[in-house]
């Protein structure tokens, strides 16, 4: 079965520093990978996806993610963190049942300090 | 597009009462998903539909929970009778063949409090 793991419950960075939120995956076949962000009292918001092609995927709000097949990872990155980036981040992989079901990780809370 | 619409945004009810949550997916999307989010259990998939047909309801916690999708533009999640442990935020999400890769789009959620 498809799965993703987010090994960190929380990540803390200072504003202006680069940030990385980690995600590893386990799939049979080619992975379809996604990152979502959830701000307080809001729904999950799609950030970016990897389907095929370039290993570096660019998304909304200056975020990008690097797909690494050999390490089965899909880490979310941003060169310079903002306080407003503080939120809950979810990694997800598309299930291979054919119905576009996503399997989500447990989430990583990002805290950016001023 | 207005995005996924959920109503009500907040619901406070007493134990034993029936609760109905509503969702309007994005026009043209043919898959709809209901999730529940709590601090203790995180994000859980309850049930999902494809072309208005329930595909997998294995995430529905108990027989007290039921969901319907009578047409492509409307779905309901019903809890009868409700219990305090049902208190959570319930999200609806949709996707379709037009979204290459299958990313889902989430509604704002319904925050349910059962007293």
pLDDT, tens digit, for every residue of A63-98?
999 999 999 999 999 999 999 999 999 999 998 777
Q: Is B34 on the interface with A (CB under 8 A)?
A: no
Q: Which two tokens stand for residue A4?
A: 């993703």
In three-state secondary structure terms, B51 is coil
Phi, psi of B84 (to 5 degrees): -55, -35
Interval B14-36: pLDDT, tens: 999 999 999 999 999 999 999 99
Residue B1: band (very low, low, confident or very high) from pLDDT cuts 50, 70, 90: low
Given an 8 Å threshold on Cβ–Cβ distance, is B108 in contact with A42?
Answer: yes
A104–B103: do the CB atoms touch at under 8 Å?
A: no
Q: How far is A108 from chain B (nearest CA, A)?
A: 11
Cβ contact A65:A74 at 8 Å = yes
B65 in contact with chain A, both atoms CB, cutoff 8 A: no
A24-71: per-residue pLDDT in tens?
Answer: 999 888 899 999 999 998 999 999 999 988 899 999 999 999 999 999
């Amino acid at each position: 079965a498809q799965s993703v793991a987010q090994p960190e419950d929380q990540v803390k960075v200072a504003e202006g520093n680069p940030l990385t939120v980690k995600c590893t995956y386990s799939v049979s076949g080619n992975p379809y990978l996604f990152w979502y962000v959830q701000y307080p009292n809001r729904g999950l918001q799609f950030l970016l996806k990897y389907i095929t092609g370039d290993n570096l995927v660019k998304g909304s709000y200056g975020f990008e993610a690097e797909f690494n097949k050999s390490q089965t990872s899909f880490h979310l990155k941003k060169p310079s963190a903002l306080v407003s980036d503080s939120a809950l981040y979810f990694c997800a992989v598309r299930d291979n049942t054919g119905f576009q079901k996503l399997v989500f990780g447990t989430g990583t809370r990002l805290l950016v300090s001023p | 597009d207005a995005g996924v619409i959920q109503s009500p945004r907040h619901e406070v009810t007493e134990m034993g009462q029936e609760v109905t949550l509503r969702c309007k997916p994005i026009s043209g999307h043919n898959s709809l998903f209901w999730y529940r989010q709590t601090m203790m259990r995180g994000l859980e998939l309850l049930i999902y539909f494809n072309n208005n047909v329930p595909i997998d309801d294995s995430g529905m916690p108990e027989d007290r929970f039921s969901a319907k999708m009578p047409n492509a533009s409307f779905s309901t999640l019903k809890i009868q009778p409700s219990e305090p442990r049902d208190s959570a935020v319930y999200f609806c999400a949709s996707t379709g063949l037009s979204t290459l890769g299958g990313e889902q789009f989430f509604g704002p959620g319904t925050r349910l409090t059962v007293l």
